[in-house]
Amino acid sequence: MWFMNKIANPFVRLILLSPLHGLMSATLLLFTYRGRKSGKEYSLPVQYVQDGHHIYIVPGMPEQKIWWRNLQSSAPVQINLRGKSLAGTGVLLKQDTDAETMVKGFSLYLQRFSVLTKYYKIRIEADGTFNAGDLNKAALMATIIQVELN
């Protein structure tokens, strides 16, 4: 994690904010939020999938990260998406109130990043679709952030 936080993320952040953002911005965006307690602003590159005015982010290894906990209640966020700075509201989706949205966002995310189906143990049916039971189970266990763009 030290290498990611101190070396890789700052380098990727520079690329995403530069005219060279096209090298990475098809799959990465720069996500900026304020700490709940500190009020300090943080920016980090994250993988994303977009569905209209909604962005879905599924942090990898969320148990090793704490940034997403700042979004347990909806909070204003800023994203740099494909070279454009956009405002939105980010929220951590919860299975008791957002189950349908979690499954939808997770499905879109896995369609984009299909290599993750093995990590989440989601079988692919003969017709190429995700096994519905596997998808629902994994989605409801995943950490999923939804950003609604203003």
Dump pLDDT digits (tens) for 44-56: 999 999 999 999 9
> What is the rounded CA–CA span in Å between residue 5 and residue 8?
6
Query: Residue 70 contacts by C-beta under 8 Å, 6 or more apart in sequence?
Result: 33, 34, 35, 36
Strand-pairing partners, residue 76, are 89
Report all structural domains of the chain as residue ranges with CATH numbers, in order of start.
Answer: 2-149 (2.30.110.10)
Please write the tens of the pLDDT for every residue from 54-109: 999 999 899 988 899 999 999 999 999 999 999 999 999 999 999 999 999 999 99
Q: How far is CA 97 from the centre of its chain?
A: 19
Residue with tokens 């204003």: 76
Straight-line distance from the first to the last Cα atom of the chain, in angstroms, rounded to the nearest whole number: 32
CB atoms within 10 A of CB 104: 18
